[in-house]
């Protein structure tokens, strides 16, 4: 269950670019343990982009992903019409607090401390999930930005009463549709459709930046 949660977190954080290996495999558990060594190869830092309100669609998608790391807090609900097991809720409080809830359990990450609740009992984990999420998220964003091409604007819609511009792009077998707030430049919603092992998987994420979020360490039973 923990590995699925890692992937859920990475998918939520990196989806605006939508091309990382982690996002491609959100329905599998084939990810290295959190305490495994990661690739430390040096890459060029991702350029800080500014939201252009549609003048530069590619820059808008990158900017929306970067902003997701900087807001004080947010929550998101992820649903899948093809893979219900992927359904989850996630909360984030800057700079390094996460809560991920699925039907089969819950994980809280505070800095380098991680806690898991399965079968109604909390326990502290030895794995450094926080470091895993930070490292893999950054790598996913870098890879996504490198491969992000052919971004199109396909219309204007409202999400939760807020005006949004709708962007689409495709990379390989992954098609992504992102609703970015006209005023905020934050992604309000995204839909990802991917071919995973010959099967089409669909996933929708809706973000909430208004409802205050707090994340505290649980009491260990």
The CATH number for 126's domain is 2.50.20.20
Q: Is the residue at 217 inside a domain?
A: no
Distance between CA atoms of 150 and 129, rounded to whole angstroms? 34
Is residue 42 domain-resident?
no
Q: Which residue has the higher pLDDT, 158 or 80?
A: 158
* 180 in a structural domain: yes
pLDDT bin (cut points 50, 70, 90) of residue 38 is very low
Question: Would the pTM count as exceeding 0.85?
Answer: no
How confident is the prediction for the chain on average, in pLDDT?
A: 81
Kindly report, residue by residue over 77-96, the tens digit of the pLDDT. 999 888 888 889 999 999 99
SS3 call for 74:
strand
- Per DSSP (E only), the strands in the chain are 73-79, 88-93, 97-102, 105-110, 113-118, 121-125, 152-159, 162-171, 174-181, 187-196, 199-208
The more confident residue out of 44 and 138 is 138
Q: Say if 214 falls within a structural domain.
A: no
Within a domain: 199: yes
Q: For the chain, how many structural domains are there in total? A: 1
In a domain, 13, yes or no: yes
């Amino acid at each position: 269950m923990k590995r699925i949660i890692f992937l859920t977190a990475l998918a939520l954080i990196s989806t605006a670019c939508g091309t990382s290996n982690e996002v491609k495999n959100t329905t599998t558990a084939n990810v290295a343990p959190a305490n495994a060594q990661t690739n430390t190869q040096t890459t060029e830092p991702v350029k800080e982009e500014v939201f252009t309100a549609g003048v530069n669609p590619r820059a808008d998608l990158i900017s929306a992903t970067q902003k997701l790391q900087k807001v004080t807090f947010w929550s998101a609900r992820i649903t899948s019409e093809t893979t219900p097991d992927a359904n989850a809720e996630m909360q984030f409080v800057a700079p390094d607090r996460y809560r991920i809830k699925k039907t089969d359990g819950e994980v809280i990450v505070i800095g380098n401390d991680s806690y898991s609740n399965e079968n109604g009992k909390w326990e502290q984990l030895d794995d450094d999930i926080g470091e895993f999420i930070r490292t893999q998220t950054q790598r996913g964003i870098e890879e996504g930005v490198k491969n992000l091409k052919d971004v199109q604007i396909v219309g204007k819609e409202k999400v939760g009463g807020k005006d949004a511009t709708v962007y689409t792009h495709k990379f390989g077998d992954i098609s992504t549709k992102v609703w970015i707030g006209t005023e905020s430049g934050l992604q309000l919603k995204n839909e990802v459709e991917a071919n995973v092992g010959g099967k089409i998987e669909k996933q929708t994420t809706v973000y909430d930046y208004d409802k205050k979020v707090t994340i505290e360490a649980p009491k260990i039973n």
